[in-house]
Structure 1
């Protein structure tokens, strides 16, 4: 009888050591605090490619005033790009890919990706969980018409671990 007090003590210690439940709200908060969302969607624009110039014309970017397309090719102007950006396109220009010539390659913003919702929380073990979530494309720019990936939603997942008394993001993967 004297050892009966030991059972509740052991049970409370066991429960105190297990991590708290991992919820969708926690996963969303941690992903947002990470700072990578909202995420910019982009497209690498090859200004020297005549096929890209034809596609850009077909999307109406020139008619809308975002680009100017050189429609003729001569030996004298072969070094000039087929596409030049106008002042109206300036807010969508993000820079040049590393190691590329700015006269030939530019990165343009196509949209902004934000976390839409946590769709599923899967507990792997007491200290590991996976959160499946969807992202939604918002603030779509005129340059999105050139992007080969025009999806407006994406499915992703992130792995979390309970360490140091709290849940932490370990790895985020885009599908």
Structure 2
């Protein structure tokens, strides 16, 4: 009986210490969603009091399309007041702006939305402590304000993300409690069996 108890305790200990959990596509998608907060909105800060921004919006043609009204002249006493005023047509593309930004006459506008498309590959290091995940995103729902973006907004993009594995049984921090409770359970079983051996 005592021999069986020892063998069972050793087997449990070996099972718990050797178990590793591979990073699969489902878990990688969940971790990327949580880390990068997809789908996410690509935005742009419009400095409504800045003459350079007013000129840029004027050149973009947004005033002609009815999204903004640009004040071309301003009296000296009105310096610092907005030169750019958004119309009702622009309302669906205006994003919430902090009080600090509002005080500086800054308005956030939506350019597009970036959506996580899928995982291309997962490569785990030989020691199992790190994993490299390549994934793709797609950009959709470009707004009229997307022309304000310097450079082209890519319709599809590839990213690489590195994960460090701190615990052998899990990739996520939330599982830390499960691991420690499992180790405590095994420890309790070992103590119980060793006590029964000597009593």
Aligned partner of 1:40 in structure 2 is: 41
Query: Is residue 81–residue 103 contact of structure 1 (8 Å, CA) maintained in 2?
Result: no
TM-score by length of 2: 0.66
Unmatched runs of 5 consecutive residues or more in structure 2: 1-6, 175-199
Whole-Å separation in 2 of the counterparts to 1:14 and 1:164: 12
Query: Is residue 134–residue 160 contact of structure 2 (8 Å, CA) maintained in 1?
Result: yes
**How many positions carry a matched residue from both structures?**
162
Whole-Å separation in 2 of the counterparts to 1:21 and 1:121: 10
Aligned partner of 1:3 in structure 2 is: none
2:140 pairs with 1:138 = yes
Query: Is residue 164–residue 171 contact of structure 2 (8 Å, CA) maintained in 1?
Result: yes
Query: Is residue 69–residue 84 contact of structure 2 (8 Å, CA) maintained in 1?
Result: yes
- Please state how far the C-alpha of 1:68 moved relative to its aligned partner: 0.6
Query: Is residue 19–residue 162 contact of structure 1 (8 Å, CA) maintained in 2?
Result: no
Residue 167 of structure 1 aligns to a residue whose secondary structure is: coil
Map 1:14-163; keep pairs closer than 5 Å: 17-32=18-33, 36-97=37-98, 99-102=100-103, 104-124=105-125, 125-152=127-154, 153-154=156-157, 155-161=159-165, 163=167
- Please state how far the C-alpha of 1:160 moved relative to its aligned partner: 5.0
**Structure with the bigger percentage of strand:** 1
- Please state how far the C-alpha of 1:149 moved relative to its aligned partner: 4.8
TM-score by length of 1: 0.74
Shift in CA distance, 161/149, structure 1 to aligned 2, threshold 3 Å: farther
Query: Is residue 160–residue 169 contact of structure 1 (8 Å, CA) maintained in 2?
Result: no
Q: Once the two structures are superposed, what CA deviation does each residue of 1:86-124 show, in whole Å capped at 9, x if it has no partner?
A: 112112212335633446211111111111232331213
- Please state how far the C-alpha of 1:43 moved relative to its aligned partner: 0.5
Whole-Å separation in 2 of the counterparts to 1:56 and 1:67: 8
What is the RMSD of the two structures over their aligned residues, measured on CA atoms?
Answer: 3.2
Q: Once the two structures are superposed, what CA deviation does each residue of 1:47-95 show, in whole Å capped at 9, x if it has no partner?
A: 1112211211222211221111112233244343110111121122123
Whole-Å separation in 1 of the counterparts to 2:81 and 2:124: 56
